[in-house]
Amino acid sequence: MLIEIANELCAKYEFDNEKLIQIFGSNYIRNLGSKSGPAGGPFPQDLNKREELNQLMGKYQMHAKVKRIFDYSLERVNNDIERDRFEDEKW
């Protein structure tokens, strides 16, 4: 529902990225918050978030600005996953 609202708002008004991020929640878009899970790999929350973002992006038509916010969020999640894998890698 928030995606549809953001689409409508972007179609009618000028929004910058920060305001769009606020609509969806900055912690959600920036992939912030406490995470826990077993050592030796990415956090389960990050893996679930990546799946959720991919599903949302596949399910909903998004205004270009809204899609850019979701692309940014997905990039943040993927970076967190790769960083966790890198940090857990044995040297």
Nearest C-alpha neighbor of 35 from the set 81, 70, 72: 81
Residue 15 identity = F
| DSSP letter (8 states) at residue 31 | T
Prediction pTM value: 0.87
Q: Tell me which of 84 and 3 has the higher pLDDT.
A: 3
Query: Cα 72–52–7 angle (5° rounding)?
Result: 60
What 3 state SS string does 33-74 have? CCCCCCCCCCCHHHHHHHHHHHHHHHHCCCCHHHHHHHHHHH
Q: Which two tokens stand for residue 61?
A: 């038509």
pLDDT digit string (tens) for 47-81?
999 999 999 999 999 999 999 999 999 999 999 99
